[in-house]
Amino acid sequence: MPELPEVQTIVSDLQSIVGDKITDFKTYWPKALQNISTKKFSSAIKNRKIKSIERFGKYAIINLEKNLAIVIHLRMTGKLLISTQVASGKDQGLKEKHIRHVFYLRAASRKPKTVLFSDVRKFATISLYDKKDLMNLKNKLGIDPLGKDYTPENFSDAIAKKPHKEIKDVLMDQTVIAGIGNIYASEILFEAKISPHRKVKDLSREEIRSIYKFSMKVLKKAVKLRGTSVSDYRDASGSRGKFQHRLSVYKKHGQQCKKCDTIIEKSTIGQRSAFYCPKCQH
Ligand SMILES: [Zn+2]
């Protein structure tokens, strides 16, 4: 569920651990590690300093010394929580709170900290990448809506690669645009007044321009409001976001459109639910 604004909020919160050293790693769900054993992962990241933390699409990337990067995808219910309460050896009972992994850190002040990785559904993933793997990942993904490459021309060119697909499906295709999921695709298309069922090839230049414009507007607003907490999402301190109060169509089916009072509809596009106002969106 976490999309660009939620991952961006978590990554911004995690800036407080940049400069800290990883002292240990513990996992209760080793299957989350994608390309490496727990033992190898632990020994590779131990005693490494966190150089920077960035977001790309829906990925949170923790860059370590020696060009290593811990690449995290939160999938449905993953959460990263910074804790100064849980110090080494005191994680009894964490399993009940769906804590699957614990990163133990030591700040420059020598104060112990932990990053608790909670995940109810257990779909979240952790990978350890070198510089080349990371470049491959970024090349595989589409343009990031908050990146400097996100221009009207690049947006138009990117979606034009999928002419026969419905626009909502294309906005959510991570190889086209990286970071948009079901919530924001629905909201962006409502603001742009475009039906999610429209095929890319049938959109006019003005309509594409409008989707581009509102994609930035909606995502920036959602980042400002620290994401959407409709179900599990929480920021790195465990607090809810506020964008759920601004939603116009996402999961609002059966309710009245706030612009025209028509009942919001729900349909299926690419095996995912689409929410839209049949009167406002054409
Ligand atoms: Zn409407």
And the tokens for 221? Answer: 């607003």
Which of 140, 168, 198 is at the close of a domain?
140
Report pLDDT for 89: 46
- Establish whether 6 is a catalytic residue: no
| Backbone φ and ψ of 220, nearest 5° | -65, -40
Indicate whether 192 pLDDT > 60: yes
Residues 180 and 265 grouped into a single domain: yes
Which of 88, 108, 140 is at the close of a domain?
140
Ligand 1 center from residue 247 Cα (angstroms): 13
Q: Domains in the chain: how many in total?
A: 2
Ligand 1 center from residue 206 Cα (angstroms): 20
Residue 147 belongs to some domain of the structure: no
Residues 156 and 263 grouped into a single domain: yes
Provide the b/e sequence for 21-51 (b: ≥16 CB within 10 Å). bbbbbbbebeebbeeeebeebbebbeebbbe
In terms of residue numbers, what domain contains 203? 152-276
- Establish whether 209 is a catalytic residue: no
pLDDT in tens, 251-277: 999 999 999 999 999 999 989 999 999
DSSP 8-state symbol, 103: E
Quickly state the pLDDT bin for 91 (edges 50, 70, 90): low
Choose, from 21, 55, 58, 113, the residue flagged as catalytic: 58
* CATH number of domain containing 84: 3.20.190.10
Burial of 17 (0-12, 13-18, 19+ CB in 10 A): buried
Residue 59 belongs to some domain of the structure: yes
User: Nearest-5° angle of CA 80, CA 139, CA 144?
Assistant: 55
- Establish whether 2 is a catalytic residue: yes
Choose, from 49, 51, 272, 279, the residue flagged as catalytic: 272
Ligand 1 center from residue 219 Cα (angstroms): 21
Residues 32 and 75 grouped into a single domain: yes
Residues 103 and 230 grouped into a single domain: no
Ligand 1 center from residue 156 Cα (angstroms): 26
Residue length of the chain: 282
Residues 116 and 78 grouped into a single domain: yes
Q: Report if pTM > 0.75.
A: yes
Residues 128 and 205 grouped into a single domain: no
- Establish whether 272 is a catalytic residue: yes
